[in-house]
Chains A and B, each alone.
Chain A
Amino acid sequence: MPSEDTKERIAKVVDVTRTVMHYGWIPLIIYVGFTRSNPQPSLINRTPTSITIHPVALFSILDHYLRRKDDQPRVIGTLLGTRTTSSSDSSTSENEIHVHSSFAVLHSENSEQVAVDMEYHRTMYELHTKVHPKDVIVGWYSTGGEGNLNTYSALIQNFYGQETAPNMAVHVNLSTGLEEGSQAGVKGYVSSPVGVFPKPENCVFVPIPVHLQFERSGVDLLTSTAQLPSSISSQPISELESLESSLQNVSEMLDRVLGYVRSVLSGEVKGDPALGRYLMDTLGTSTDDLEKGGFTSRLQDTLTFSYLSNLVRSQAEVSSRLALVTS
């Protein structure tokens, strides 16, 4: 039997525990909830959910990578753009980051330390805002794939986090695909601190989706140039030429479909009903409404335009010659 003394002591301990539990329970739950959930919620919900990137930013990164010094394993720089918050649902709000452009920042890293030229970064940002006043710093980029996310990345991320405060900085990692076994690609990350005591060098990079946003025609021009063996194309391309190449492209695709349909008909390949339905929907589009009157009126309009333009041009030519006549 425990003595009266011991009993009293136990009762006291239970009492204290109860008080602690009473006041400490909710903070504990919040703490556990914060550290265990993924992605990390912050008190103000500003965690970016996706990144939309413009090709100019990517091309600048590639150019910077090309011009790096020999002893630089990777290059880093600042990403500029805008943040948009659109609440699609009542509960979740989408925090999109639009990256419009990027500029290179000088940095050096070795086994002991990492240094970022902050003054350069500030100067470039000020210069940039003169032309694009709406763009703000949204994060930073580095090259070299996932393997390069190290302690220094965490430190640089921490630095950019201070620049973008109170918003979170994003990190875009561009793999140039030059190292063996790596594929060219772009990945986006946000960071979240780990550990009991937040330290700048401790953080987890949480991947977020990256989309590409571009001017259709510009990228078309560059991809078509890139497909040429010499990777040099001359300008200007006449519209008829581009029309012709598009038509040839369509014709090739039709040939491919025709080949597939023939092989299904002859029984070599088993037909896919979903594909068949899709082909019927696509190719069965009626073009009857083109015939009804639209053609003639459109033709007349176009011919008038053509006539007018020729008239104006010849008048302009005559007028400019007449200006040379001296009395």
Chain B
Amino acid sequence: MAAQSMAAALAASLPAAAATPAPAAPTYEAIPASMSKVIDVEADIQLTSVQLDGLVVAKILKHAREVSSIANAHGLLLGLDLDGTLEVSNSFPLPHHLADDDEKSSKSVARYQTSMLRSLKEVQADDGVVGFYQTSSLGAFFSQNLVDTQALHQDKLRHGGVVVVHDVSQTTRGNPSFRAFRLTPQFLDAYKKTNFSTTSLANHQLTFSTILEEIPLKIRTNPLLKSFLGELATPTGSPLTDATPDKATVSAIPPSFSALNLNSGSSTRNLEQITETLDNYRTEEGNIGYITRVIAREKAKAEAHMAKRKEENADRISKGLAPLPEEDAYRLFKIPNEPSRLESMLLLGQLDALAKSLGQTSATSLVKLYGATAGSG
């Protein structure tokens, strides 16, 4: 009853409670209004924002840099939620598992996860899993893997968990970006039914933009980190007496102006990726088209059979014979299930994100171009 007595103590310290003497026995049924935002057992308070600690930012950046650009780095986020803000205070990377021996690797990942959490708990670190992070390049983070993991988390974790997406290509341009997402309820509903046919999509009003909803993300540095960074960035006099003016002061973190770099880079790679995704999308569309045609053909066959059977039956009835059963007709023809549109939807989402990132890059480089000519003119 530590929380209750704490609540009582806090209620007693409030001015309103001080005027009327607080009852000696703590009330057990109602949580005081002042604590209702802190004690949130049932996770009733909706998440409104995600707050990343500086440590987590550094860890994700490091992990993203270490993993090659083809594979996406991913790891778990640890933290707590408080009054609608999900405070992510720690993270650890997950081992990159290969596609083969899936069964074995997933087991070892699970074992790794549990023993890591136990170890972190021993040194008083947060050990509540609140989501996971994934790195992507050029904004294309939509993937089957991400959706699967997040759907799994949304069931298991408190508040459903979040996914934090980090864009590597923006980091190399000097502007690291972190975004937090969560699956929308309508997508989750469709996902649980594993029904991504056209009618289901239309019922749930799903397009690629309604798969995920974004949660505002903030970055926070704790006061200790703040003072430490400040100390590192403070320039001190060089030990050399005859240093040139550009070397007269040294600091562990010199100021940088990478944002002023005129070369925006990576446009070619961006275009290549767009073409690649377009090709994939075409293939996927071809598959869907093929299956749709097969369905139409089989349906036509079945209907023709039915019409024939009806005719036959009418004939038989007129002749005074017992009619043949009609319902087995559909069983004679194997009509395939309607194709899942999830894959093509995800590909479209990827395409959109890639194009968006290209658009942003070109917009910035336009500004830089005009700025540079104005400066030199």
Contacts and interface: CB of A to CB of B under 8 A. Distances in A.
Interface in A276-315: 278, 287-288, 290-291, 295, 298-299, 301-303, 305-306, 308-310, 312-313
Nearest to B360: A239
Contact of A287 (B116, B259, B361, B372): B372
A94 B188 CA distance: 56
Given A212-B253, A218-B61, A316-B352, A323 B341 contact: yes
A247 interface: yes
Interface in B317-364: 341, 344-345, 348, 351-352, 354-356, 358-364
A50 B277 CA distance: 46
Of the candidates A214, A237, A316, A319, the one having the most CB atoms from chain B within 10 angstroms of its own CB is A316
B253 A299 contact: no
A313 B356 contact: yes
Given A185-B231, A236-B179, A302-B366, A218 B198 contact: no
A34 interface: no
Contact of B221 (A123, A178, A225): A225
Contacts of B174: 216-217, 220, 242
A108 B99 CA distance: 43
A67 B125 contact: yes
B225 interface: yes
A291 B373 contact: yes
Contact of B358 (A54, A105, A223, A308): A308
B30 interface: no
Contacts of A62: 55, 222, 224-225, 228
A233 B256 CA distance: 19
B82 interface: no
A60 B93 CA distance: 14
Contacts of A132: 66
Contacts of B202: 324-326
A240 interface: yes
B249 interface: no
Given A58-B228, A223-B233, A239-B360, A323 B198 contact: yes
B14 interface: no
Nearest to A295: B373
Nearest to B178: A235
B245 interface: yes
Contact of B199 (A176, A319, A326): A326
Given A220-B174, A222-B221, A287-B376, A242 B179 contact: no
A56 B62 contact: yes
Contacts of B245: 274-275, 278
Contacts of B218: 232-235
B145 interface: no
A295 B216 CA distance: 38
Contacts of A54: 62
B23 interface: no
Contacts of A64: 123, 125
B51 interface: yes
Contact of A302 (B59, B89, B220, B362): B362
Given A123-B119, A290-B372, A312 B57 contact: no
A219 interface: yes
Interface string B120-132: 0011110000000
Contact of A236 (B59, B178, B206, B255): B178
A91 interface: no
B359 A184 contact: no
Given A127-B119, A242-B175, A323-B345, A63 B90 contact: yes
A120 interface: yes
A65 B224 contact: yes
B185 interface: no
B231 A184 contact: yes
A317 interface: yes
Given A290-B372, A305-B267, A306-B363, A106 B122 contact: yes
Contacts of A214: 253
B171 interface: yes
Nearest to A291: B376
A216 B256 contact: yes
A320 interface: yes
Contacts of B362: 302-303, 305-306, 309
Interface in A202-217: 212, 214-217
Interface in A225-255: 225-227, 231-240, 242-243, 245-247, 249-250
B348 A320 contact: yes
B5 interface: no
A321 interface: yes
B95 interface: yes
A273 to B, nearest CB: 11
A169 interface: no
B360 to A, nearest CB: 7
A36 B131 CA distance: 57
Interface of B: 51-55, 57-59, 61-62, 65-66, 89-90, 92-96, 108, 112, 115-116, 119, 122-125, 170-179, 198-199, 201-202, 205-209, 216-233, 244-246, 252-253, 255-260, 267, 271, 274, 278, 341, 344-345, 348, 351-352, 354-356, 358-369, 371-373, 375-377
Given A130-B95, A131-B94, A316-B348, 10 more contacts: A56-B62, A101-B62, A120-B119, A130-B112, A233-B218, A249-B255, A278-B246, A301-B267, A306-B366, A308-B355
8 contacts: A104-B125, A127-B115, A127-B116, A130-B112, A231-B226, A236-B177, A287-B372, A312-B352
Shortest 7 CB-CB contacts between residues of A and residues of B:
A287-B376, A309-B359, A312-B355, A218-B61, A184-B231, A305-B362, A309-B358
